[in-house]
Amino acid sequence: MKHFKHTLFLLVSLLAVLASCSKDPVVKTPSGEDNPPAEPQEAKVLVACFSFTGNTKAVASSLADLSGGTLYLIEPETPYGNENNTYYDESTRAYKEQYGPASTRPAIKKSLDNPDTYDVILLGFPIWYGKAPRVVFSFLDAYSFKGKTIVPFITSGSTGIPSAASELKAAYPDITWKNGDRLNGKTADQLKSWLEAAGVKAQIK
Ligand SMILES: Cc1cc2nc3c(=O)[nH]c(=O)nc-3n(C[C@H](O)[C@H](O)[C@H](O)COP(=O)(O)O)c2cc1C
């Protein structure tokens, strides 16, 4: 009888141990609370753009809607007058800035809140005489985006982005530049695909 009780006790103990092992392990914090694995964080997106006649702003606005990002307009302190819309007029401010020293930095309104909080910046601008307008450089100088990822995009009459993108990469080598694109006349689906390719999750399906 004594042996039987002892064997029964061992058997019950063994079953109890086996039952506890079959449960899913729960990770506890040092204070004893359950600690489920963290959800992956979505990148915080800034869509910053300079636009003179509205084309780039329209694209930037769609990208902000699609990505759930924040739209920020880069504004020169002194707006460009309509006379700047005349190409190759050497008397215009735009022409002088683009063909002047590469260090030209027109003053901009500095009104971007919490620039550090963004993980990815989509940077839009029109092509001016083959390159990015100098106000775009003023924007990059005004905030420290060192170590951040920037994806440039442009609108233009016909010029592509390579020359403008190379100049930006050379001027700001501490920024992680992703390949950009010319986004004139893209549909919402094409913009979504572009965002996904740039590593930005589209929020609107
Ligand atoms: C001063 C100036 C220079 C321009 N230079 C070029 C150029 O070199 N190549 C080009 O394809 N388009 C050029 N354009 C056309 C603009 O890039 C195009 O219209 C763009 O979509 C305008 O964008 P926005 O409306 O956002 O300002 C120029 C426009 C202006 C006003």
**Protein residue with least CA distance to atom 17, ligand 1:** 156
Taking the C-alpha atoms of residue 125 and residue 187, their distance in angstroms, rounded to an integer, is 18
Please give the residue range of the domain that contains residue 170: 47-197
In this prediction the pTM is: 0.83
Residues with CB under 6 A from ligand 1: 51-57, 84-85, 87, 94, 126-130, 155-159
Compute, in angstroms, the gap from residue 153 CA to the centroid of ligand 1. 13
| Residue ID of nearest Cα to ligand 1 atom 9 | 159
> Where residue 96 sits, what CATH number does that domain have?
3.40.50.360
Count of structural domains, the chain: 1
From the alpha carbon of 53, which atom of ligand 1 is closest? Answer: 25
Q: Do the Cβ atoms of 63 and 47 come closer than 8 Å?
A: yes
Given a contact cutoff of 8 angstroms between Cβ atoms, the answer to whether 159 and 127 are in contact is: yes
Give, for 138, the enclosing helix (H) or strand (E). Answer: helix 134-142
Distance CA 45, CA 43 (A): 6
Whether 204 maps to a domain, the answer reads: no
Cβ atoms of 128 and 92 closer than 8 Å: no
Per-residue confidence in pLDDT tens, the chain, 205 aa: 455 555 544 444 544 444 444 444 444 444 555 565 555 567 899 999 999 999 999 999 999 999 999 999 999 999 999 999 998 899 999 999 999 999 999 999 999 999 999 999 999 999 999 999 999 999 999 999 999 999 999 999 999 999 999 999 999 999 999 999 999 999 999 999 999 999 888 776 5
